[in-house]
Amino acid sequence: MVTGPVALAESQEIGAMLPFLRMCPPQALVSRLKTVLAGPELPSEEDQASNQARNIQFELWFANTLWRGIRTLHSSDIRFSLGRP
């Protein structure tokens, strides 16, 4: 099974969040990052018991997006606008 592209994309996503993550209190971040790193490599390997890792990564990504001041966000899963478009 080829996991390289998925792992690479998700690790780049975490790398892009580093400025935000450095601002977070370590006591709040450590357990969350451990959960992210312990999760399944591929979305297809998730189930209801193991999807927490990807959920936390999405929460961190979204918090990072808001922290960076992005007011409008469009992706395949979400549309978000803060204030007037």
Q: What's the pLDDT tens digit per position in 32-85? A: 999 988 888 887 888 887 889 889 998 999 889 888 887 666 666 666 666 654
Q: How confident is the model at residue 19 (pLDDT cuts 50, 70, 90)?
A: very high
Bigger pLDDT: 67 or 31?
A: 31
* pTM of the complete model: 0.73
| Tokens found for residue 68 | 């960076």
Cα(10)–Cα(72) distance, integer angstroms: 22
Burial of residue 51 (number of CB atoms within 10 Å: 0-12, 13-18, 19+): middle
pLDDT score, position 22: 92
pLDDT score, position 60: 92
Do residues 37 and 61 touch, judged by C-beta distance below 8 A? no
